Structure 1
Amino acid sequence: MAAARESLTPGTLVGCYRIVKPIAKGGFSLIYLAKDEESGGDVVIKEYMPKKIACRDSALRVVPIDPDYTENLHHGKKLFFQEVKALAALQHPNIVRVLAFILAYDTGYLVMPNERGRNLGAYLHERKGGLSTTFLLEVFVPILDALALLHRSAMLHLDVKPGNIHLRHGNQPLLLDLGAVHPLSRGRTRGGQVITAGYSPVEQYFRTGQVGPWTDVYAVGASLRTCMEGRTPQPAPERQKEDTLVPAAVALKDRYPAFLLEAVDWSLRMDPAERPQDAAQLLAVLSSHLDETQLARLTETAPAASVASHGIDHQGDFLKSPKPHH
């Protein structure tokens, strides 16, 4: 009988990488710290291992927990391979970089560089909100620049949140957990994907929902507001029933500049059509409040992308756009 969804044991070889220890679990993957046997360097490996339909057999292979799930597992692996291939083509200093992709044990392994730093979600928990305007721009301007590349490449992240932002030295951010990345089909796709309460807009909850770049924009707005207040915004389905979320321009008017609060409120509009339609549109508004030196520093001079997924599961066009309307 197949075992439960167990992690690979330390010492297991995956290609030329030897597993050191498991460091995280998610709904669709297991994440490990591993060592490159050739260079001796540390890497992070994400193994496709969906929780609800797969387990590991005695030969370490990833197999369906029931024959009825065989097709589901095969389809999921196919999507995982497609997403990794698409991500490997992305080159951005604030997006995780793909070092290798390995097929082994009847599943796929995404290999990424390992880099020290801290998680924005954990840092926010320690600070309990109130992060400075300078800090927020240092983090979210590059993140929006990275998302703008995703959106121009007809891809969505669909799980932007503080826990998926890694802070390297000097608060240089890295967008993590691209396992949720979803390719756009004809510019639109249906909802029903990964959900994170407070960060996912209402269209993401339902299979009939039309998700798009505007969906990621909502999540950025929610992440910014969380960094300001220290608590997650009211979940979108609750807002749809009774919206008790006081506009940031009102609730935080004495603590942050009006342009930033207006951008947050614009991003958190319930109607997708009333939000910035992609990351580049929101980026254009925020970047208009930076001088050329600041903008160049935040969007062009970060080091080569790499990732530290410790405890975490899965160059922009500065387009002219209208200011938020109120």
Structure 2
Amino acid sequence: MEPSVKLCMGCMNELDADGRCHHCSYSDDIPHLQSYLAPKTVLDNRYVVGKMLSYNGEGASYICYDMVGKCKCVCREYMPDTLCERDADGLSIKVNKDCLAKYKTFMSEFADMNKLLSKMRNLDHLVTAKDMFAENNTTYVILEYIEGVSLKKFLQSNTGFLTWEQVKKLFVPLFTTLNIIHNSGIIHRGISPENIIVTTDGELKLTGFCISSIRTSNTGMMPEFYSGYTAPEQYSSLQWQGTWTDVYAVAAVIYRILTGCMPLDANTRIHNDTLVEANRINPRIPRHISDALTKALAVRGEERTQTVTELVSGLFEQPSRMEHSKGSTQTIPIQHVPREERQRRYEAENKIEQRYGQKKKGSRVATIVGFCVLAVLLAIGIYLMTQLFAPPEENGSTVSKSSSSEYVYVDSEEEDDYEYGTTTTQATKPVDDTEFGMGSIMPNVVGMLYSEVEKKMGGEFTLKPKYYYSEVDERGYVKSQSIPEGVDYDPARKNELVVDVCAGPPSIPVPDCSGYSKKDYLSLLDSLNIKYSISNEKSSYVEVDMVIRTSIPAGSYINIEKGEVLTVVVCNGKISVTQSATVTQSAMQSATQSVTETQAWSDTQTEWSDTQPVITDTEPVVTEQPQTDEGFYNNW
């Protein structure tokens, strides 16, 4: 019987007698992406392809079964989806027009990289290639299958972080492997918890090698970046990459393991570097390890640790004992004095004490009295200096000193009112570091887009944005935060974080409604935060569900801050020619009656006051020429 019939295509384990798999929930009824290989496809008359495990801009990875070796393995298929597509037969690759040269160049780099990795099969901490062949106008690489989980899942199931002693045991072999890879001229560019596998034996294995263009911006291929672990130079195709690129990623992984917090994205740090040192987040991290990680995570490549060897030296070489900072405890060698010399010194000291005992006793009393007087004078001087240079109290705030020598600020101001742009100044209220728990350090989110804050910190805080209007500040950016930067907090508590977000200017011009459908125009108004109401009207010249006009002309300003409402008139049906003529005639009669009433009122006013100057009224001429329905609506 064929292996494709007896094996589960989801995990490549043997099926039960009833055709079900008790290892996974995979079923043959699950559809697959048509752009990739279908399960049960046989490659090179040897490998049975199963379900797809992952894919990126370089290609796809499938679980497969080696019918010769009788074992599981992973098949990596070169298929850059921006350069080619799957043919109708479901197997062959068809290269797009004008992309053949680039397709072959990248495929050659793909093959050379895996050939070089296949020569490192003796490395126990590296997932290497077992076989490689060309078929279906592309290249396939067969990798060993590793039983285990990714480091990301491992951390999620183990309190989220590890101690330095645990990290040291895990990463020492991986450092050696990575150093050998660098010496062979290969740069990984994608080291992250997703590409490090923790085996069932508790060892780490590095996987996820790709060509350089996949992990660099602006190369014509779909880039694959790992937020927090990708180095800054990978976001630009104009900067040099090298061993220091992988050093950044490894340091970011260790930073994440020791602190439990993912480092800030490098693309964000380029413009606003607010990375917190590791030992500030977790005080149990040794100082020299925190310094080594900070240097390895430098934004500028030339200022960063250049090689893995330098990184290992910074992590494992502790400072010399003789290099003590001022005030630190030092070990001083004790000099041993012979017994005879000690006895002689003791007898001499006794004679001196007997001779000058009374004098020393009196001098001791004088010394104690002098110290007391000096302490009193010093206390008085400190008090006077405090009163002289103390800053004046502002905004009714009072300062009191607690028993723990920490100042507590009591604010008498009312809370800010941010409702629709009304803001008042409130005195800053320092927060106790233990109020929000322990475990993480509050970053600075001022100057960031609120959408980014919501994306990165929405899982750790209960975000409450307060919107205000401003002609100066940019719309959508955070102006202030309720929890100050550097304060400890516990992500599990879901503390409330109030941020002031600019909602844009208080008045904006009304957008032109010409040619807009009801759905599109209302979406545009929603994006501009303009309140609106809908009015329906029939028309002979506007299509159904199209906008006829607005209550405020296009280009005129509407005050969003005061809550002005824009009325949007939408066509809800066609009007007939007869109805149009009736409406036109009624409108003309109303206009004529209005002109007559205005003339009568003017004559009355002229007769009422003799002192008023003579007003010459020219009665408007109402033309009896028939007017089209469209012209009537335009004039109206």
Normalising by structure 1, report the TM-score. 0.78
Preserved contact between residue 191 and residue 208 of structure 1 (Cα < 8 Å):
no
The residue correspondences of 1:127-142 to structure 2 (distance < 5 A) are 127=158, 129-142=160-173
Determine if the alignment matches structure 1 residue 196 to structure 2 residue 226: yes
Q: How does 1:105-254 map to 2 (within 5 A)?
A: 105-127=136-158, 129-180=160-211, 194-252=224-282, 254=283
Other structure's SS at 1:210 match: coil
- The Cα shift of 1:287 comes to 4.5
**Could you report, residue by residue, the CA deviation over 1:31-75 in whole angstroms, capped at 9, with x for unpaired residues?**
1111111121111111111122222112311222x3132222222
Mapping 1:16-31, distance limit 5 Å: 16-31=46-61
Note the C-alpha offset of 1:274: 2.5
SS of 2:210's equivalent? Answer: helix
- 8 Å CA contact 1:128, 1:229 repeated in 2: no
* 1:277 alignment partner, one of 306, 329, 351: 306
Alignment partners' CA distance in 2, 1:234 and 1:170: 32
Matched AA of 1:151 = H
CA distance in 2, matches of 1:67, 1:226: 44
- Counterpart in the other structure of 2:65: 35
Computing the radius of gyration from Cα coordinates, the structure with the larger value is 2
In 1, are the aligned partners of 2:57 and 2:80 still within 8 Å (CA)? yes
Give the drift of 1:245. 0.9
Specify the alignment match of 1:185 in structure 2. Answer: none
Give distance in 2, aligned partners of 1:148 and 1:5.
40
Which residue is equivalent to 2:601? none
Classify the secondary structure of the residue corresponding to 2:201: helix
The question of whether the paired residues in 2 share the 8 Å contact of 1:217 and 1:267 is answered with yes
Counterpart secondary structure, 1:155: coil
What is residue 55 of structure 1 aligned with on the other side?
A: 85
With over 3 angstroms needed to count, the CA separation of the structure-2 counterparts of 1:5 and 1:26, relative to structure 1, is: farther
Q: 2:237 aligns to what SS in structure 1?
A: coil
Go from structure 1 to structure 2 and tell me whether the alpha carbon gap of 1:258 and 1:249 turns closer, same or farther (over 3 Å shift).
same
Q: Is the 8 A contact 1:190 1:209 kept in 2?
A: no
Q: 2:43 aligns with which of 11, 14, 17?
A: 14
Aligned match of 2:115 in 71, 85, 95?
A: 85
What is the rounded CA distance, in whole Å, between the counterparts of 1:39 and 1:244 in structure 2? 52
Alignment counterpart, residue 259 of structure 1, candidates 247, 266, 288: 288
Quick one: which amino acid aligns to residue 169 of structure 2? E
| Number of aligned positions between the proteins | 279
How far has the Cα of 1:181 moved from its partner? 5.9
Distance 1:260 1:102 in 2: 45
1:119 CA displacement:
0.6
- Residues 84-116 of structure 1, C-alpha deviation per residue, up to 9 Å, x if partnerless? 112112242111121000111111111111121
Q: Which amino acid aligns with 1:225?
A: Y
3-state DSSP of counterpart to 2:142: strand
Residue number in structure 2 paired with 1:313: none
In the TM superposition, structure 1's runs of 4+ consecutive aligned residues that sit over 6 Å from their partners are: 189-193
| Cα distance, 1:139 vs structure 2 | 2.6
Contact 2:110 2:211 in 1 (8 A): no
Partners of 2:255 and 2:131 in 1: CA distance = 36
* 2:102 aligned residue (72, 80, 84): 72
AA partner of residue 105 (structure 2): H
Q: Tell me which residue corresponds to 1:319.
A: none
Encode CA deviations 1:218-249: one digit per residue, 9 max, x unaligned. 11111111223333211122112111111213
> 1: CA distance between counterparts of 2:272 and 2:286?
28
Is the contact made by 1:190 and 1:210 (CA closer than 8 Å) also made in structure 2?
no
RMSD of aligned residue pairs (Cα, Å): 2.4
Tell me the amino acid that sits aligned with residue 48 of structure 1. Answer: Y
Q: State the identity %.
A: 26
Q: Deviations over 1:240-263 (max 9, x none)?
A: 2111111213332x2322232222
AA aligned to 2:152 is G
Maintained 8 Å contact 1:129/1:228: no
Aligned partners of 2:217 and 2:235 also within 8 Å: no
| 8 Å CA contact retained: 1:27, 1:50 | yes
Aligned letter for 1:266? Answer: K
Unaligned runs of 5+ in 2: 1-32, 319-636
What is the deviation of 1:177? Answer: 0.4
Give 3-state SS (helix, strand or coil) of 2:270's partner.
helix
Q: CA deviation at 1:127?
A: 4.0
Q: CA contact under 8 A between 2:251 and 2:296: conserved in structure 1?
A: yes
Aligned partner of residue 101 in structure 1, secondary structure: strand
Secondary structure at 1:170's aligned position in 2?
coil
- Report SS of the residue matched to 1:156: coil
- Range 52-61 or range 126-135, more displaced: 126-135
3-state SS in 2 of match to 1:241: coil
**In 2, distance between residues paired with 1:143 and 1:224?**
12
Per the normalisation by structure 2, the TM-score is 0.41
- Corresponding residue number in structure 2 for 1:307: none
SS in 1 for 2:154: helix
Contact 2:278 2:285 in 1 (8 A): no
**Structure 1 segments unaligned to the other structure (5+ residues):** 183-188, 290-326
Aligned to 1:300: none
**Which whole-Å CA distance do the structure 2 matches of 1:8 and 1:71 have between them?**
24
After the TM superposition, which of the residue ranges 278-287 and 23-32 deviates more from structure 2?
278-287
Deviation at 1:28, TM superposition (A): 1.3
